[in-house]
Structure 1
Amino acid sequence: MTPASEAPPAAASPGGAVARLAGGVMLLRGWRRLGASFLAGSFGALAMPPFGFLPALAVSLAVAIWLVDGTAGSRSTRPARLWPCALIGWAWGFGYLFAGLWWLGSAFLVEADVFLWALPLGVLGLPAALGLFYAAGFAVAGLLWVRGPGRIAGLAFGVAGAEWVRGHVFTGFPWNTLGMAVGQNLWLMQSASLVGLYGLTVLAILVCAAPATLATGSHPRSRFGPSAAAAIVLAAMALYGAERVDPEADPVVVGVRLRLVQPNLPQDAKFRPENRQDIVDRYVELTRRPPEDGGAAPTHILWPESAFPFLIQRDPAAMAQVGAGLAPGQHLITGAARAEEPLPGERLRYFNAIMAIEPGGRIVDSYDKVHLVPFGEYLPAPLDAALRALGLRQFVAVPGGFSAGTLAGQRILDVPGLPPVAATICYEAIFPGAILPAGAAGADRPPGLILNVTNDAWFGDTPGPRQHLAQARLRAVEEGLPLVRDANTGISAVIDAHGRVVAQLPIEQEAVLDADLPVRILGGTLYGRVGDWPFAAMLAACLAGALRARRLA
C-alpha cells in the first residue's frame, strides 16, 4: 500500500466537472503532461501586465499542482519524482515566459539584416533557459509534496525561492516575477511597502494555488479551507491598501515643475549619425514649447535614455545648442552615452549615462548605468571574444559594448533645484531592493524621487513597454518614493509614492508632459529599511508549514 503522505489526492471523489478535470489532468503522462504544463504556464501569463487577469494564474497553478499530484504513483518515492516534477516545472515556466516575453522578438527586427537569425534564441531560447529556474522550484516542491493543503506551502517555498534566484544570478532577470500578478492593483500593491516584490510572490502563489484543493480535497476542511484563507489574505491586502492610499492627492514639492519630453524617435533612425542635427533640433523644439495649460514654466527638463546618436560631451556645438535651449534657471536631465579617456594601452570606454546639464551647456553631475543588459549592451566576458570572432556584437552599436559603472558610483544624482535623485536607466528599475545606494534611505539627505530614463522603442507597441512601466511603478511603492519616468516612445509618466499615476503620455506619440513632483513618504517604508528579510521569513514559514504537513500525513 502507498503511505498516506504519498497517496495521490482524491481526484475521483464525487463532485462536479472540476473534480473530473483534475482527475484527467493527473492521469496525463509523457508529452501530454508536458504539453498541458506548457499551456497552463502560457495561460498564467495573462495575470501579468497589461492584462492583469488574476484568475488566470489561479487556473494555471491549479493545473500545475494536479500534474504534480499525478506523479505520486504507487511505486514512486519522493526522490524518484524529482525528475518528473522538474520537467513539469520547466514546461510550465517555459510556457509562462514564452507567452509573457514574446515581444522581445521586436528588438531583433530593428536591424533585421544583422539580428534576424537570432530571433528564435530570444523568443524561444531565453524562456526555455529561464524555465530551468522553475524546474528547480518544482523539484524542491516535489520533495515536500503531500496530499492536502500542505503542498500549497511547499509549492510557494520552491517556486518563490526560484523566482528570487532568477532575479539575482547571472546578473538577474526578475521580469514578470509572479508577484506582479498582485502588484498591479493599486490597493493590493501597497503590501509591497512591507514585503517587496518577492514577498508579493509568496502571497500570489499561496492565494492563486489555493483553489486547486477545491477539486482534490478529501475532507471539507482541506477542500475549502485553503480557498477561504486565500480570500481572507486578499481581503486583508485590499483593506491595508485602501487604508494606506489617502483619497487626497499627495502634496507636491514646492518650486519644482517637470517637463518630460517624449520625442517618439523610431529606433532604426535614432542611432544614425546623419540624423544628429535633426534629433537635437527636435529635442530643443519640444523643450521650448510653451506650457499647454498656461501654467508655470518647467524648472527641470527630462530627455530619455541615449538621447543622441553621438557623444554630446565631445561635441561643443551640440552642447552649446542644448544649453542655449534652456531658459535661465532650468536644468536638463538626459540620457546620453559618454566616453572615458583610456589609460595607456586600454581602449576607449563607453558608458550608458544620465547627465544633468545647466544653461550654457555645462554638465553638473552624471550617473553611469551599473546594471547592463547582457547581449543588449555588452557581450558577457566568457563569450565576448568567441562571439566577436564570429562577427557578432551586442544590440547597441558601441565599439566593445558599454562598460558598467562601479557599485561605488551607484549614487544619488545631484541636480540643482531637485531633491536628491535615485537614478536608474532602462531595466535597472525592475530590480527590487537595488534602487537606492546602501544606506541612502537613512542618510542625512535621503532621495526624494526615483528617476528612470529608458528607450522602449526597441519593442514597439507591445506588452513590453507596459510591463516595464508596471514594474518600475512597484518600485515607487516599495521605496515610498515618487517615480519620474521618461521614455523615448513611451510610456512616460509621473507616479506618486503610493503608486498612483499622476500623469502619463500615450505610447508612440510625440509629446511633452508637464507635471508637479509629488513628495516622498516621510520615514520611508519597512521594505526600504529592511529589504528582503520579510520575504525570507515568509519562505521559512512556508517551509515549516510544508514540513509539518509531511509529519502529520
Structure 2
Amino acid sequence: MGLLDAVGERPLRSAFLRGWLAGVGYFGVGCWWIVEPFFVDAKNQAWMAPIALPLMAGGLALFWGAAGLAYRLAARNNTARVLVFAGCFALLEWLRGHVLTGFPWDLPGEAWRAGSAPSQAASLVGAYGLSWLTLALGAAPALLLDRTSRAEKAITAAVIAGFVGLLYAYGAIRISQAPTPAPGAPLIRVVQADIDQKDKWKPENLASIFETYVSLSRKAGPAHPDIVVWPEGALPAVIDELVSPGSPYGPRLRDALDPGQTLLMGANRAEARPGETDYLYFNSLIAFRREAEGLRVTAIYDKYRLVPFGEYMPLGKLATKVGFRSLVHMPDDFTAGPEPKPVTPWGVPAVQPLICYEALFPGFTRAAAVRSGLRPAWILNVSNDAWFGRTSGPLQHLNMASYRAIEEGLPIVRATPTGVSAVIDAFGRTQSGARLGLGELGVIDARLPPALRPTLYARFGDTGFALMLVLSALVIVANRFQRPMVD
C-alpha cells in the first residue's frame, strides 16, 4: 500500500505498473512449478516451458495492476484507506478466481498455514474473506509511516495488534473444541505408489505400476481398511479397457480387494459419443465394491472443472494448428462432467470428490451440497501432483486443499501418486502419522475424522466477504467528501 501511496508523476499509470510488477513477482514465485509439466514429454513440449511462466505470471498480475489502479482512484489520505486497499485487491482476487474458469491459486488469505489459529477464520468468511482480512492487516503497518503524532501511531499499532490477537484467539478457541474421533469411523487406506510422471505413460510400465498399487492395497496392517483410495489417473490406461472382458487386469483388480471393501480410484474413462464412432474422455473417480460375484461400480464422478491447457485447450482447433495441445495422454481433450454433487457409494459415507485443482475453489463443496440437498460427511481430493515434481507446487496444493476442510467443517482425505498425501481433519490439520511426503512410497491407514456442524461459511457462503466489500465501498463513498490523494 505504501508503494501505491508514494507514486509521483503520472500516478494512475504508475499505480497500475507497480501493482502489476508486484503481481509478477508474487505469481512468478508462487507458480514457478508450472514449467515442470512441460518436461515430462520434453521432446515435444519443453519448448513451451519458457513461455508458460511469463505468460501465467504476467497474465495473473493484470488483476493486481487493476487493483492498484482502482486503489489510487478510490483512496484518500486517511486511515480508512487500509479498507479501500483490502477491498480493491480482495475483489480482484475474487475475479481472478472466476474469470475464464478462474485460477484461485495462492489467495492471500491462504498464506496462513492451514490448521493454524488464524486460518480458522475461513470457517466464518471463507478464503476470500480471509484474504480481505489478511490484506487489511498486511497493509495497516504502512499507516505508521504517516505524518501523525506519537500518540496516534501508538493507537494505530494497538489496534493492529488487537485485530491480530482476535484472529489468533478465535482460532485457538475453535481448535480447542475439536470433537473426539468416533471409534467406529471407517478405516481408510490411501495408497501412494511414487510413480514418476515421466515413467508413468511408457506402455511397458503398465504391469509394474498396476502391481505396485495392488501390493500396497493388500499390504498387511493393524486393521482391515474399509475404503482404499488410489489417486487421480492412477493407472496409465483407460479404465474401460482394463476391466473389459478378456483383460487380465480385471480379475487382478478384483483380487486387490477383500469382500466388502470399496476402492475409490482416480481413473481415465471413455464414453462413446452418441451416434459417433469416436469417444468422449473423462477424468473420473470411480467407486468399485468387491462383492461375492466380483467388482461392482457403485458410483462415478466426472471432473467438472478442467485445467485449461492441461486437460483441454481453449480455442482447441486453432491452438492445435499453431502447435499447442493439452498435456493429457489421451487421444483427445477431456470433457467436463455434469455439475458436481456428492456421491454415495454403497457402504461409504456420502463424499464430495474434488479432482486435482477443483480443491482450489472456495464454495465448490457448498454449492454441490446446496444443489443436491445432501451435505457430505467428508471430502476426497484425488490429485496427480506428480506433474510438478519435487517443487513447491504439491506443498502449496496441500495447504490450499486443507482450507476447504476449514470452510466446510468437513475432513479431507487427499491421495496423490508422489506426494503429498494426507488425512486432514475438519480444522485443516494433517492428522498425526497420516501424511506421506514427496517421493515417499507407502500407505496411510487412518480413521475418517469426524465432521463438524455446518460452519458459518457452509451456511452462508461468501456473504461475509460481500459485507466486507460493502464496507470498503462505503469508505470509498465517504471519501468523495474528502480531499483526494492525487489532484
Q: Give the TM-score taking structure 1 as reference length.
A: 0.82
Change (3 A) 1:352 1:222: farther
What 5-or-longer segments of structure 2 have no aligned partner?
Answer: none
2:283–2:302: 8 Å Cα contact kept in structure 1? yes
Structure 1 runs of 4+ off > 6 angstroms? Answer: none
Deviation at 1:401, TM superposition (A): 0.8
Matched, 1:406 2:338: yes
Deviation at 1:274, TM superposition (A): 2.4
Bigger drift between 222-231 and 90-99 goes to: 222-231
Alignment match, 2:53: 123
1:496 counterpart letter in structure 2: D
Structure 2 residue corresponding to 1:147, chosen from 77, 89, 92: 77
Structure 1 residue corresponding to 2:436, chosen from 469, 483, 505: 505
CA distance in 2, matches of 1:227, 1:171: 40
1:90–1:134: 8 Å Cα contact kept in structure 2? yes
Alignment of 1:45-194 (within 5 A): 65-71=1-7, 81-182=11-112, 184=114, 186-194=116-124
Alignment match, 1:449: 378
Q: How many correspondences in the alignment?
A: 474
Structure 1 residue corresponding to 2:422, chosen from 463, 469, 493: 493
Matched, 1:384 2:316: yes
Alignment match, 1:244: 174
Deviation at 1:551, TM superposition (A): 2.7
SS at match of 1:260: strand
Deviations, residues 286-345 of structure 1 (Å, cap 9, x unaligned)? 011101xxx221111000000111112223331221111101111100100000111124
Alignment of 1:473-552 (within 5 A): 473-502=402-431, 503-522=434-453, 524-552=454-482
CA distance in 1, matches of 2:468, 2:270: 45
Alignment match, 1:309: 236
Deviation at 1:176, TM superposition (A): 0.5
SS at match of 1:518: coil
Percent of counterpart pairs with the same letter?
39
CA distance in 2, matches of 1:243, 1:345: 59
CA distance in 1, matches of 2:321, 2:44: 15
Q: Give the TM-score taking structure 2 as reference length.
A: 0.93
1:525 counterpart letter in structure 2: T
Deviations, residues 400-459 of structure 1 (Å, cap 9, x unaligned)? 21000021xx1112122221001110010010001244444993x420000000111111
2:81 counterpart letter in structure 1: R
Change (3 A) 1:96 1:124: same
What 5-or-longer segments of structure 1 have no aligned partner?
Answer: 1-64, 74-79
Structure 2 residue corresponding to 1:421, chosen from 312, 327, 351: 351
1:260–1:301: 8 Å Cα contact kept in structure 2? yes
CA distance in 2, matches of 1:224, 1:441: 50
Deviation at 1:461, TM superposition (A): 1.5
Change (3 A) 1:67 1:255: closer
SS at match of 1:162: helix
CA distance in 2, matches of 1:437, 1:116: 38
Cα RMSD of the aligned pairs, angstroms, is: 1.8
Deviations, residues 162-219 of structure 1 (Å, cap 9, x unaligned)? 0000000101000001111235351111110100000001100110111112223334
2:342–2:369: 8 Å Cα contact kept in structure 1? no
1:286–1:511: 8 Å Cα contact kept in structure 2? yes
1:98 counterpart letter in structure 2: G
1:318 counterpart letter in structure 2: Y
CA distance in 2, matches of 1:228, 1:318: 66
CA distance in 1, matches of 2:2, 2:430: 39
SS at match of 1:202: helix
Alignment match, 2:395: 466
1:280–1:308: 8 Å Cα contact kept in structure 2? yes
SS at match of 1:504: strand
